[in-house]
Amino acid sequence: MAKMNKVETKAYNWLQKKGLSETDIIYQARRNPDFLTSDGKGYEAKKIYGKTLWFSSNQFEQLSNMTNVTILGFTDDKEEPTLILAASELREGILEGFHIRVVKDSGPPTYRNSYDLIAEIVKSCREPIGKTNILHEIRATHTIFERWLNMAVRFKLIEEVLGNQYHTTQKGRNFLKAWERLQTFLTEKDEVFQDAL
């Protein structure tokens, strides 16, 4: 079986808590949806960035045309999905208080700013984690990743522990709290703007 990322692992564990056994769940690495179950349902696990879920245009088109598929949105701090949504209800914009964004390439857009990247790195280091796993989590090029990883270390938001692993510092946790408050504030302002349209 291919290795699952953190969000897929959370979804897999959640499905088992719902009563499905290991043999009832088929993991589909790099396919939509992430999981097929013996009862004929599908589940796509998505990471929630602030209040936003990102989809590639191809993934968005495939999932929104699937019946019996559920989107499970997970935040870093919870093992249970924060958002459960029928894939057939997917549309761009604000849905159940979350931004649904579609980009041409896969994953979060390449125009993430430096604060977004640093926040993603710091979040991924809440538990000790190696460079390769951080890179897999944030889905950036190696050059960009190295640049912002070194910046997070220099700002003392993360520290190297246990050899070649990194862990979030208290300063990093404070940064994340402030960053999440800012993201919530910006989302609320965007929702007010959307409501006015």
SS3 label, residue 180: helix
Answer yes or no: is pLDDT of 110 > 50: no
Answer yes or no: is pLDDT of 59 > 50: yes
Whether residues 164 and 92 share a domain: the answer is no
Q: Decide if 171 is inside a domain.
A: yes
Domain assignment of residue 148, given as a range:
112-197
Answer yes or no: is pLDDT of 8 > 50: yes
Q: Decide if 26 is inside a domain.
A: yes
> Domain ends where: 83, 103, 123?
103
> Domain ends where: 44, 72, 103?
103
Q: Decide if 1 is inside a domain.
A: no
Residue 54's DSSP bridge partners are 101
Whether residues 143 and 76 share a domain: the answer is no
Pick from 84, 56, 73, 48: nearest CA to 184: 48
- Residue 96's pLDDT is what? 86
Q: Which helix (H) or strand (E) element contains residue 11?
A: helix 6-17
Whether residues 86 and 22 share a domain: the answer is yes
| DSSP summary character for residue 49 | B
Q: How many CA atoms lie within 13 A of 117 on its CB side?
A: 21
| Residue range 11-50, pLDDT digits in tens | 999 999 999 999 999 999 888 999 999 999 999 999 998 8
Whether residues 29 and 117 share a domain: the answer is no
Whether residues 97 and 116 share a domain: the answer is no
| Residue range 147-176, pLDDT digits in tens | 899 999 999 999 999 878 999 999 999 999
- Residue 24's pLDDT is what? 94
Whether residues 129 and 63 share a domain: the answer is no
Whether residues 163 and 141 share a domain: the answer is yes
Answer yes or no: is pLDDT of 186 > 80: no
- Residue 196's pLDDT is what? 45
Q: Which helix (H) or strand (E) element contains residue 74?
A: strand 69-74
